[in-house]
Chains A and B, each alone.
Chain A
Amino acid sequence: MKKMSVPETTVLYRRYIEQMAAGGSPVLRTEGLGITFGGLKAVQDFNIEVYPGELLGIIGPNGAGKTTVFNLLTGVYRPSEGAIYIGDRLMNGSPPHRFVEMGIARTFQNIRLFSSMTVLENVMVAIRDHSYSLVSALLGLPQCARGEGELRRRAMELLEIFDLGDKWDTVAGSLPYGRQRMLEIARALATGMKVLLLDEPAAGMNPVETQELLSYIGRISREFRVAILLIEHDMSLVMNVCRRIQVINFGETIALGLPEEIACNKQVIRAYLGGDLAGGE
């Protein structure tokens, strides 16, 4: 057997987890998840348990494998080892849209909006319910128009939350960068998810926008009761938002803990300062 890379945790942290576990079983869970790209182990032995409604940060230096973890958790990549469970369901090998159906939504580090479509359409695409059949669409039956009306109404509601209501008719690609990031979050919310994965949502935002983002994230977690997984380089944001943090370096989890524990964790500091190059491999 290869060495288990589960880092030590504190009593405080374990107590926090026990508290979360008392509130319900994990919505998303992995066991020894790993993926290899042509010999490079981008992620290995990744274990995570996401409890309903929690705020969890994933941090690590550039190229640590954070985005790859998200791609594994959303079915973009097929894991080469380990297992992903949503609820009790084993998800290995399922296509990405099945992950969305099961309640995982995400945003991307490099924004992936439908740039030639309007802001409203972007959100409408992601709404899963209120649908109508292909036949009623082709024949122009009343269900179709009614369904469209309902989709629009729901999408507008979501846009209002992000102050994008007045921009509904704008082509998404022409929005300012910060607004595009907000729209991508609105679109992810439209899927009606249980777990929301945000990949560096504050990247490229100015301090004002970052502050705005912070309040949105708080609101989402309160109002929608979804678990949020946050990848972020902006340490103050992570420390402010997340209740616990998992640190990855070279694809391996090197630390797990509450924000204040992570802030003074020697291994984490070493990883960020690059001391790991000498000692780690």
Chain B
Amino acid sequence: MRGEREEVKGMKKGLYLWAGLLGLVLILQLIPVNNLLFAKKIVPLVWQCCYLIIAATSLNLVVGCLGQLSLGHCGFMAIGAYTSALLSLWAQRAGVFSHKESVAYIVVVLISIVAGGLLAGLVGLAVGIPALRLKGDYLAIITLGFGMIVVNLINNLPFAGMDGLSLGSAASGLYKTGLGFSNRLLVKYLWIALLGTTGAMTLMFKFMKSRFGRNVRAIRDDEIGAAACGINVPAYKVGTFALSACLGGVAGGIYACFMSALTTGSFAFTNNGILNSTFLVAMCVLGGLGSLSGSAIAAAIMCLLNYLISQTGLNSLPGWIGLAFSYPMLIYAVVLVVIIIFMPGGLTGGREISLKAVIGKFGARLK
């Protein structure tokens, strides 16, 4: 039967994915940690890509798949980041681990990230229940406010402050004993980022492919029609929002591993980087609303573009080229505008990218 065949196919695909990941991790272990290009350039880039991919894709769950504009996703990332950072600090004080090469440390890191995700998910639930009664602009404003409140709250938390996280900036001495990875550890524990990303993406894909995801898309297309099909619309909205928040929290946890110090500025509504609530929405639009693979690709592209502009010295080129590259936001804006004009549905037109379809298209073009 068709269903069973697909079941076998799906399981095989999953198996290949995880085997591939394992292989990649093993190969990565072979590259010497003191390989400069690898350790100093590529690894940090991969970490950035990873948390951006999770953040953008999980936001697309709400903005694209559910069709509700949320402008406070970085608030959930902040909750995840600070929760996991504080948890790991606490574990270090309590003597759970003594040095960062131990198995205990890895366990602490993993638990901290998951806990950060769970807390963010709970907050998402609490925020979603009242907020999702509103629609469109009102919901956008509420979530925008939420993002700002989280940042201000963290800035003023007494225990965060006393532990050196006050005013949003962690005293690195204290922080380094917790979650933050050194350059060496970033290489050694790169698998944590890869595992987190693969896990989160798999979860989201499975969700959207199931009847639950189908119901979410039905709500986006027509809320009243969805309710008339027996879908509990409010519950689905809040549930999807909470799942998105939870994975946003996981992205925050991975971000906290990557950074040597946490500042709340990184979770603002806008800032001069590419990690902020506005830019995450831009990535969703760029990749195609409702396409998880699209937002992952868009996040990776933005990450690479950001790296090219800020790290490769393009801005020191002579003349107007250098000048243009000194204002990266200007370039992003132009790229976004051009893409939205020529590809209104984003890079993917809102559909998921399947490897088979891509190969098929290439094949057709070659002939």
Q: Which residues from A are CB-within-8-Å of B215?
A: 125
Comparing B228-236, B275-283, B292-300, B302-310, the segment that makes contact with chain A is B228-236
Q: Does A106 contact B (CB under 8 A)?
A: yes
Interface mask (B1-35 → A, CB under 8 Å = 1, otherwise 0): 11110110011001000000000000000000000
Rounded to whole angstroms, the CA-CA distance of A191 and B230 in the bound complex is 7
Rounded to whole angstroms, the CA-CA distance of A113 and B220 in the bound complex is 11
Rounded to whole angstroms, the CA-CA distance of A148 and B224 in the bound complex is 24
Minimum CB–CB distance for A251 against chain B, Å: 22
Whether B230 and A97, one on each chain, are in contact in the complex, defined by CB atoms closer than 8 angstroms, is yes
Name the interface residues of B73-110: CB closer than 8 Å to any CB of A.
Answer: none
- When C-beta atoms are compared, the residue in chain A nearest to B350 turns out to be A116
A96 touching B228 in the complex, CB below 8 Å, given contacts A115-B222, A132-B211: yes
A116 touching B221 in the complex, CB below 8 Å, given contacts A145-B6, A146-B7, A152-B2: yes
Rounded to whole angstroms, the CA-CA distance of A131 and B221 in the bound complex is 22
Whether B7 and A149, one on each chain, are in contact in the complex, defined by CB atoms closer than 8 angstroms, is yes
Q: Which residues from B are CB-within-8-Å of A117?
A: 214, 217-218, 221
Minimum CB–CB distance for A144 against chain B, Å: 6
Rounded to whole angstroms, the CA-CA distance of A106 and B229 in the bound complex is 9
Rounded to whole angstroms, the CA-CA distance of A128 and B229 in the bound complex is 8
Is the interface on chain B under 10, 10 to 19, 20 to 34, or 35 or more residues?
Answer: 20 to 34
Residue from the list B214, B228, B232 in contact with A124, Cβ < 8 A = B214
Whether B3 and A97, one on each chain, are in contact in the complex, defined by CB atoms closer than 8 angstroms, is no
Q: Does B210 contact A (CB under 8 A)?
A: yes
A112 touching B10 in the complex, CB below 8 Å, given contacts A121-B214, A145-B3: no
Q: Does B227 contact A (CB under 8 A)?
A: yes
Minimum CB–CB distance for B209 against chain A, Å: 8
- When C-beta atoms are compared, the residue in chain A nearest to B219 turns out to be A114
A126 touching B10 in the complex, CB below 8 Å, given contacts A113-B222, A137-B211: no
Rounded to whole angstroms, the CA-CA distance of A124 and B232 in the bound complex is 16
Rounded to whole angstroms, the CA-CA distance of A97 and B4 in the bound complex is 31
Interface mask (B179-213 → A, CB under 8 Å = 1, otherwise 0): 00000000000000000000000010011001110
Residue from the list B4, B207, B222 in contact with A137, Cβ < 8 A = B207
Rounded to whole angstroms, the CA-CA distance of A137 and B215 in the bound complex is 13
Task: Number of A interface residues at 8 Å Cβ cutoff, please give it.
Answer: 44
Residue from the list A95, A116, A131 in contact with B232, Cβ < 8 A = A95
Q: Does A69 contact B (CB under 8 A)?
A: no
Q: Which residues from B are CB-within-8-Å of A194?
A: none
Minimum CB–CB distance for B363 against chain A, Å: 21
Q: Which residues from A are CB-within-8-Å of B3?
A: 145-146, 148-150, 152-153
A95 touching B227 in the complex, CB below 8 Å, given contacts A114-B218, A144-B210, A149-B1: yes
Name the interface residues of A117-138: CB closer than 8 Å to any CB of B.
Answer: 117, 121, 124-126, 128, 131-132, 134, 137-138
Q: Does A280 contact B (CB under 8 A)?
A: no
Rounded to whole angstroms, the CA-CA distance of A131 and B1 in the bound complex is 18
Rounded to whole angstroms, the CA-CA distance of A89 and B58 in the bound complex is 41
Whether A140 and B225, one on each chain, are in contact in the complex, defined by CB atoms closer than 8 angstroms, is no
- When C-beta atoms are compared, the residue in chain A nearest to B231 turns out to be A97
Rounded to whole angstroms, the CA-CA distance of A132 and B217 in the bound complex is 18
Whether B228 and A148, one on each chain, are in contact in the complex, defined by CB atoms closer than 8 angstroms, is no
Rounded to whole angstroms, the CA-CA distance of A114 and B217 in the bound complex is 8
Q: Does A86 contact B (CB under 8 A)?
A: no
- When C-beta atoms are compared, the residue in chain B nearest to A124 turns out to be B214
Q: Does A238 contact B (CB under 8 A)?
A: no
- When C-beta atoms are compared, the residue in chain B nearest to A71 turns out to be B224
Q: Which residues from A are CB-within-8-Å of B350?
A: 116
Q: Does A105 contact B (CB under 8 A)?
A: yes
Rounded to whole angstroms, the CA-CA distance of A114 and B6 in the bound complex is 25
Q: Which residues from A are CB-within-8-Å of B4?
A: 145-146, 149
Residue from the list A108, A137, A145 in contact with B228, Cβ < 8 A = A108
A187 touching B7 in the complex, CB below 8 Å, given contacts A114-B222, A137-B211, A140-B206: no
Q: Which residues from B are CB-within-8-Å of A144?
A: 210
- When C-beta atoms are compared, the residue in chain A nearest to B9 turns out to be A145
Chain A binding surface, main DSSP class: helix
Q: Does B45 contact A (CB under 8 A)?
A: no
Whether B228 and A106, one on each chain, are in contact in the complex, defined by CB atoms closer than 8 angstroms, is yes
Q: Does B226 contact A (CB under 8 A)?
A: yes
Q: Which residues from B are CB-within-8-Å of A101?
A: 230
Residue from the list A100, A105, A116, A134 in contact with B212, Cβ < 8 A = A134
Minimum CB–CB distance for A160 against chain B, Å: 15
Name the interface residues of A76-117: CB closer than 8 Å to any CB of B.
Answer: 76, 95-97, 100-101, 105-106, 108, 112-117
Rounded to whole angstroms, the CA-CA distance of A148 and B2 in the bound complex is 10
- When C-beta atoms are compared, the residue in chain A nearest to B6 turns out to be A145
Whether A108 and B227, one on each chain, are in contact in the complex, defined by CB atoms closer than 8 angstroms, is no
Minimum CB–CB distance for B60 against chain A, Å: 15
Q: Which residues from B are CB-within-8-Å of A148?
A: 3, 6, 210-211
Whether B211 and A147, one on each chain, are in contact in the complex, defined by CB atoms closer than 8 angstroms, is yes
Rounded to whole angstroms, the CA-CA distance of A134 and B206 in the bound complex is 10
Rounded to whole angstroms, the CA-CA distance of A121 and B225 in the bound complex is 13
Whether A128 and B228, one on each chain, are in contact in the complex, defined by CB atoms closer than 8 angstroms, is no
Whether A138 and B6, one on each chain, are in contact in the complex, defined by CB atoms closer than 8 angstroms, is no
Q: Which residues from B are CB-within-8-Å of A149?
A: 1-4, 6-7
**Chain B residues near A (Cβ < 8 Å):** 1-4, 6-7, 10-11, 14, 203, 206-207, 210-212, 214-215, 217-218, 220-222, 224-234, 350
- Please list 13 pairs of residues, one from A and one from B, whose beta carbons are closer than 8 Å in the complex, sorted by A's number: A75-B227, A97-B232, A101-B230, A105-B228, A108-B228, A114-B217, A124-B211, A125-B231, A140-B206, A148-B3, A148-B210, A152-B2, A152-B3
Q: Which 9 A-B pairs have the closest CB atoms?
A: A149-B3, A145-B7, A100-B230, A112-B225, A137-B210, A114-B221, A96-B227, A126-B229, A112-B222
